[in-house]
Homo-oligomer: A and B are copies of this chain.
Amino acid sequence: MYGPAGVRTSLQFPVPDHMKAWVLGDPDQLLLRDKPTPVPGRAEVLVRIDAVAICATDLEIIHGGSPASIGGGLPFNKHFTPGHEYMGTVAALGPEVDEFEIGERVSVEIHAGCGQCKRCRQGMYTSCLNYGKPDKGHRANGFTTDGGFAEYAVNHINTLARVPDTMSDAEATLVVTAGTSMYGLTELGGLVAGESVVVIGPGPIGLLAVAVAKALGASPVILTGTRNKRLAIGKELGADRVINIAEENAVDVVKQLTGGIGADYVVECAGTEATINQAIHMATRGGKICLAAFPHHPVTTDLAHLVKNNIYVYGIRGEGRSATRRAMALMAKNGSMRPRFTPTRFRLPICLLRSATRAIGSRMPSRW
């Protein structure tokens, strides 16, 4: 029976003491297993997973194990449950929790900082110095602590954002991605109304960066990429101009669209040597670049250009400064910010996905 002292449940949302969960096996192996339903502690709740999106990083984790400590060289992590873009329903409350009620629909962000290191104390919880140390109170569900490819997950209350009735479960799984884009724009200064913003790379973070920048009044919003289909989604989400870099010189076009001086803000979401150099050269003097993706190897870039032109570069990790809640507020208001889903099967091996979908209740959408 589920229900340790201090944890509250409700008859309406009965919680089983065991649940189904997908767990890592050997590299590239994802296994469906029974696990004890996790129990929320202080400042935590139990979330019944209602929908989960699959991110490219999930596939990397299935392939290579959980990056419990970034760069830490941990061994492959068996029995770990990945999945970080999920939403669901509050099913149980940890001791003293009164910030949420059982039955509320919530989407989640990934990072709950330890709350006791220097960075957490500055409000920089995604840069927690105790990253990967659950003993210190740090959680990054789907990365260092069990995530959302399961029937239930435990979340710190700091990582929850209420989902309005007008937003579907599937849409709500995108909020953490939008939060990452919002965090990037926040760190660039946040005041983008009337400023020129270029987004490089029309993946999920890039597309939502277009949507968030447009919602905040950026003008023009320019999207670059190589896939016309994705660029078309960018147009729907508000890009004033898209550039297929296979057909046009992105730096030249951006300069031309900005009166010759370059873009105020560039959000780099492609993470290649070529696009990072484009970002550097299309930023205006005094401009700012957000690196939201990264290359897997050292890259050769014109860093001198940054110094000569007083350009700042923000390597962002995660979705800090409560950006997920702010993104939720914008998405709740602007239906047009929410991309229409095409539930293609993505890149997850089809058999795995099928059984996963069946196992956890057909609640797993895919991504663009």
What is the CA–CA distance of A38 and B276 in the complex, to the nearest angstrom?
45
What is the CA–CA distance of A99 and B118 in the complex, to the nearest angstrom?
11
Set B42, B300, B316, B322: member contacting A122, Cβ < 8 A: B322
B124 touches A286 (CB 8 A): yes
Across-interface contacts of A261 in B (CB, < 8 A) = 129
Across-interface contacts of A329 in B (CB, < 8 A) = 193-195, 217-219
B310 touches A194 (CB 8 A): no
Q: Does A4 contact B (CB under 8 A)?
A: no
Q: Does A60 contact B (CB under 8 A)?
A: no
Stretch at the interface among A10-18, A77-85, A131-139: A131-139
Across-interface contacts of A308 in B (CB, < 8 A) = 70-71, 294, 315, 317
What is the CA–CA distance of A315 and B129 in the complex, to the nearest angstrom?
25
A306 touches B291 (CB 8 A): yes
What's the nearest-Cβ distance from chain B to residue A38, in Å? 19
Query: Chain A 278-306, CB within 8 Å of chain B: the 1/0 string?
Result: 00000011100001111111111111111
Chain A stretch 69-116: residues in CB contact (< 8 A) with chain B: 70-71, 96, 99, 115-116
| Known contacts A121-B322, A129-B261, A327-B193, A294 near B285 by CB under 8 Å | no
Q: Does A2 contact B (CB under 8 A)?
A: no
Q: A128: nearest residue on chain B (CB-CB)?
A: B285
What is the CA–CA distance of A330 and B310 in the complex, to the nearest angstrom?
24
What is the CA–CA distance of A121 and B328 in the complex, to the nearest angstrom?
17
Across-interface contacts of A298 in B (CB, < 8 A) = 300-304
Across-interface contacts of A129 in B (CB, < 8 A) = 261, 284-286
A156 touches B116 (CB 8 A): yes
Q: Does A56 contact B (CB under 8 A)?
A: no
Across-interface contacts of A303 in B (CB, < 8 A) = 276, 291, 294-295, 298-299, 301, 315
Q: Does A66 contact B (CB under 8 A)?
A: no
| Known contacts A217-B326, A330-B217, A307 near B301 by CB under 8 Å | no
Across-interface contacts of A346 in B (CB, < 8 A) = none
Set B115, B296, B313: member contacting A312, Cβ < 8 A: B313
A307 touches B317 (CB 8 A): yes
Across-interface contacts of A43 in B (CB, < 8 A) = 115-116, 136-137
Which residues of A pack against B, CB within 8 Å?
A: 42-43, 70-71, 96, 99, 115-116, 118-129, 131, 135-137, 156-158, 182, 186-187, 190-191, 193-195, 214-219, 261, 271, 276, 284-286, 291-318, 320-322, 325-330, 332-333
Can you give 8 contacting A-B residue pairs, CB < 8 Å?
A126-B310, A127-B309, A190-B190, A194-B322, A214-B333, A294-B306, A308-B317, A310-B315
